[in-house]
Structure 1
Amino acid sequence: MASKPDIDHVETVEVGSETPTPAGTARLLDDGEVRLIPIPTRDPCDPLNLPMWHKITIHLTVSFFSMTGILLVSGMGAVLPLIAASYPDVKNTADLNVYPTLFMGIGNLIAMPLSLAIGRRPVYLFSSLLLVIGSIWCAFAPDFNSHLAGRDFLSLGAGQSEGLCVMIVQEMFYLHQRGRALAWFSGITTVGSTALMIASTFICTAWGWRWWYGVFGILNGVVLIFSVLFVVETKYERSPEALRGEIPSFSRSDGLKGKDNDLTRVTTRHLPTLDDVNYSPRSFISDLKPWQGHSEWSAALICYKHMVQIALFPHILWLILCCGAFLGVYVLYASVFSGILTSVPYNFSFEVVGAVMAGQIIVCFVFIPVIGYGTDHLTKYLSKRNGGIVEAEYRLLPLIIPWLVTIASCVIFGRAAADPFHWHWAAVVITYNSEYIGFMSIVLSSFTYAIEAHPTRVGPSVVVLCAMRGFISWGLSWGSLRFVQSQGYEGAFNICAIVLGILGVVGIPIYFFGKKLRIITQRWT
């Protein structure tokens, strides 16, 4: 199956002197019907035309890949004290939990532009293979340095759990479905990784931490097999008009011309008829090819150019800083909470510490319906009040409550950790899991907002958000860990709360002037 070149290289053309409608502003509702954005084509190989069972299968497969990747990179917090006992002469064993976030960012910088050049499938399959090899490496690592190197190596592949997987998911679903699709992706990833984190403590205490890598190396191998069989290429060319929900000016090449199609209405009730005559039908054998044989190497270089451009957009730069701050705070939590709970006066066992993460499962049961479906319904509601017009900034409103909860959690956690004899263990457990609400919310909202605000720059947007938040979070968590050692928990987490508070205040003008910023920056997208 041949996939088409990436949309990042299709230029928009302004007609006349009128200012075009900015990306991120589109008509979502039409006479009570939900319009399909982007507009699907008549090509059977268009990922938007995949049957729902296949979309769900791909969604679940990449979610499991993300689940194991995040577990291996960020899920070591619960078992870190046990692993640290194997290296009594190493002072900074927390580096096993901190440096992998840096290499996740590096992996994104390499893999995402490459996926624009040769396609999503080969990069995704290679990343899945890296997880398997990296797990085996760590399981047989003879010393600490080899162990750390193995974790950095597998993190290069795990980085796609936050970048490439998100792009694959969003390329299969329409605008009005993205909130719930990405929420389910985050929810499955979190519930699965949390459940496996709980199991990790039992695996490590019963079989040793090397079998922790062994078990999940086997699981990664199973995911790799499913990926080869079902995760098809989702790279597909779409015109800027189609991405905005408008009928493309070159509809013939977009596969929209046909005697049975009403090109003026493409909604959930009026779908284009698939064309097996002018397009090659999709086949299982063709889909099995690791690479479809098409490459556009200049796309990788252009992606880096677009990454620099979009990273300088004020509203995207704000999201980058927010994502990095929230992830950095979460990594800091994950690096210290188990040590606090296993020490006096709490004296939790390693098994109980793993069970503490079960709170994140509860978070997901709230997160999926409220943040996922809630944002989709809120977007439709606000669009209806706005005459059927949707604005990308609607995706930012659900961040208010999680943001406030995260700030309060930082303050309480810092005080409880600094003075555990006067604070109940619940202050540590609840705030640790509460911060995860904010982290998941900002990740989901940043992706959906960036995708809808600049639909022709999905690849650069995703890689910038993922890679830069990895770098920022690494610097924040690395510096904070050393600051905790010298200044104490309360000072470090108060600084985290202040940073998040400042970013939250900056978000107010971003929301109200976001559309104007999109209009100003449209000339570069």
Structure 2
Amino acid sequence: MRFIALKELDKTEGTVQLREGNVCAFTFLTNYAIGGLAPAFPTLSQEFNKTPGETANLLLWPILVLGVFNFFWVPLANYFGKRPVFVIASRILYVSYIWGACAKSFRSLLWSNIIAAFAGSSTEALGAAMVNDLYFLHERGFFMGIYMNSISGGNTIGPLICGFVVESIGWRWHKWMAVIFTAINFLAVLFFVPETRFDRGSEFAASPESLSLRPEDDIPAQKMATVILAWVVAINIWNTFVLQAPPYSWKPSINGLINIPGLLGNLAGSFTGGWMVDKYSDWRARKSHGVFQPETRLFMLIIPGFIVPVGCILFGYGVERTLNWTLLFFGYAFVALGLTAVPTIGMAYVSDSYLPVSSDALLLVNGLKNIVAFGFLYGVVPWVTKEGYVNVFGTQAGVFVAILALAIPLAFYGARLRHRTAQWRIVLRN
């Protein structure tokens, strides 16, 4: 059977967009209710008599689970299909939010977040793989950017709304709102998300560009995708304890407004890493007589490579020196740009290079991203306490630049690497 994009089989464009919209909503709601709880951290810390470090576990352990359980859901979806996985996981997400809204202890609330992350982890790699199922090469970056915005948007829109909810009617209503939204989304997934797997055929799978990977094989660009999540979550954790304490003394509702520049940064990052990269790649392909090289996407990493370190330094100095809030807003916006730009570019590159096994390739990228972020964030609270914000965020800026520099040799020699790794190919069995 020859490779046929599923989009060609649809009678209307709207059918494809509806499928992606439902999965994006699923992804958004995972981060909306878990990461969105950040403005309530000082309140929760007092209510349950927990330190800031202990309260941060409400976000840290779900991040680890979001990464680890990619390795559970992706093989399951490869065997049974994506649709049953999404239906089951969206149901679990709905039930776990009811649990969280009714939680009477910190441990109960923590475990409800962990189970929610277990369900939500099904979309981390499979949602991106669905983009590959539904869209063509020249539009992959744009729609990958939309998908990445649904992930990052939960971490910005969630806290923005939660700040007002916590101040007016309490943090539990933030969870109950998530229950309502996830119940609606569960029904939408149940009735409107069909299976998107299809047979790619041996003819397509045989080219050097389309490799079947073993779990132990390294994926180029995966190291770059592991860095940026930790920076944004670190800001989400610390800004609530800083801005709601003297000398800022902001209310939770005002504190939530810091996510407006975060949201704008996410949108700018998805535009930069998605649409701009697609157009740049098209231009480079025309200059190369119609030959497209996935490595052309990597050259656009230069934009977040300059902007994100500036954001880290601005936020670090702004917090430690208690400078004007506008400096913190700009710093967060610059870092948030990288949250969508870098993964969008990296995941589109991986998909271009390993399309027939994109679910497995993206599994490694997303799984490692969250595991590395957890490891970093687990130690960031004592690190900041000991070294201060300037040293910590300054070091983060340097680490980001160093890791992103790995893209330089990959941009020039990635094609050779892809052809060489063709020797690792094993038979792809659908």
Q: Distance in 2 between matches of 1:90 and 1:477?
A: 15
Q: Distance in 2 between matches of 1:512 and 1:385?
A: 16
Counterpart in the other structure of 1:403: 305
Answer yes or no: is 1:88 the counterpart of 2:49. Answer: yes
How many residue pairs end up in the alignment? 421
Q: Matched residues in 1 for 2:259 and 2:296: separation? A: 31
Match of 2:184 in 1: 222
Distance 2:267 2:401 in 1: 26
Q: Does 2:22 align with 1:58? A: no
Give me the whole-angstrom Cα distance separating, in 2, the residues matched to 1:68 and 1:48.
30
Compared CA separation, residues 180 and 243, structure 1 to 2 (3 A):
farther
8 Å CA contact 1:48–1:171 kept in 2: the answer is no
Q: Deviations over 1:197-231 (max 9, x none)?
A: 32211222222111211110111010010011111
Alignment correspondent of 2:91: 129
Alignment partner of 1:75 out of 4, 24, 36:
36
In structure 2, the CA distance between the partners of 1:112 and 1:192, relative to structure 1 (3 Å rule), is same
Question: Unaligned regions of 5+ residues in structure 2, if any?
Answer: 426-430
Pairwise CA distance, 1:379: 1.0
Matches within 5 A, 1:153-168: 153-168=115-130
Distance 1:337 1:49 in 2: 48
What letter is aligned with 1:114? L
Q: Cα–Cα, structure 1 residues 64 and 144, in superposed 2: closer, same or farther, change >3 Å?
A: same
Cα distance in 1 for residues equivalent to 2:321 and 2:200: 57
For structure 1, the residue ranges without an aligned partner over 5 or more in a row are: 5-37, 247-302
Deviates more, 1:411-420 or 1:62-71: 411-420
The separation in 1 between residues aligned to 2:59 and 2:22, in whole angstroms, is 25
Q: Which residue of 2 aligns with 1:308?
A: 216
1:103 aligned partner: 65
Note the C-alpha offset of 1:510: 1.3
Q: Give the direction of change, closer, same or farther, for the CA distance of 1:225–1:39 in structure 2 (3 Å limit).
A: same
Query: Structure 1 residues 369, 411: CA separation in 2 closer, same or farther (over 3 Å shift)?
Result: closer
Once the 2 structures are TM-superposed, how far is the Cα of residue 369 of structure 1 from its aligned partner? 3.8
CA–CA distance in structure 2, aligned partners of residues 193 and 219 of structure 1: 16
Aligned position for 1:393? 295
**Aligned-partner residue type, residue 250 of structure 2:** F
In structure 1, the partner of 2:350 is: 450
1:49 matched to 2:21? The reply is no
Matched, 1:360 2:262: yes
Q: 1:172 to 1:229 in 2, by over 3 A?
A: same
Q: TM-score, normalised by structure 2?
A: 0.92
Residues 466-498 of structure 1: CA distance to partner in whole angstroms, max 9, x if unpaired?
111110000011111221122221222122112
- The whole-number CA distance in structure 1 between the counterparts of 2:402 and 2:332 is 21
| 1:475 maps onto 2:383 in alignment | no
Query: Normalising by structure 1, what TM-score?
Result: 0.76
Q: Which residue of 2 aligns with 1:144?
A: 106
Percent identity over paired residues: 20
Letter in 1 for 2:22: T
Query: Which of 1 and 2 has greater Rg?
Result: 1
CA contact (8 A) 1:47 1:236 kept: no
Question: Is the 2:265–2:335 Cα contact (8 Å) retained in structure 1?
Answer: no
Specify which structure has the higher proportion of helix: 2
Q: Give the alignment of 1:306-385 within 5 angstroms.
A: 306-309=214-217, 312-313=218-219, 315=220, 319-385=221-287
User: What letter is aligned with 1:461?
Assistant: A
Q: Secondary structure at the match of 1:358?
A: helix
| 8 Å CA contact 1:78, 1:350 repeated in 2 | yes
Which residue identity lines up with residue 514 of structure 1 in the other structure? G
Residue-by-residue CA offset, 1:12-69 (whole Å, 9 max, x unaligned): xxxxxxxxxxxxxxxxxxxxxxxxxx9527xxxx454223110011111111111111
Q: Deviations over 1:158-197 (max 9, x none)?
A: 1233211111122111111111111222335545663343
- 2:355 aligned with 1:460, yes or no? no
SS of residue matched to 2:292: strand
Structure 2 SS opposite 1:171: helix
State the SS of the aligned residue for 1:307: coil
Identify the residue that residue 28 of structure 1 maps to in structure 2: none
> For each residue in 1:56-85, what CA deviation from the matched residue of structure 2 results, as whole angstroms up to 9, or x when unmatched?
111111111111111123222222222222
Q: Is the 8 A contact 1:73 1:101 kept in 2?
A: no
Displacement of 1:335: 0.7
Tell me by how many angstroms 1:354 deviates: 0.9
Partner Cα distance (2:206, 2:389) in 1: 48
* Residue 211 (structure 1) aligns with: 173
Alignment of 1:503-518 (within 5 A): 503-518=403-418
User: Contact 2:298/2:345 (CA < 8 Å) preserved in 1?
Assistant: yes
Q: Give the AA of the match of 2:265.
A: V
Matched to 2:216, the amino acid is V
Deviation at 1:122, TM superposition (A): 0.8
Native 8 Å contact 1:39 1:245 kept in 2? no
Deviations along 1:137-157, one digit per CA (max 9) or x if unpaired, are 111122111111111111011
Residue of structure 1 equivalent to 2:320: 418
Matched, 1:239 2:201: yes
In structure 2, relative to structure 1, the CA distance for the partners of 1:369 and 1:147 (3 Å cut) is: closer
- The Cα shift of 1:499 comes to 1.1
Q: Structure 1 residues 218, 101: CA separation in 2 closer, same or farther (over 3 Å shift)?
A: same
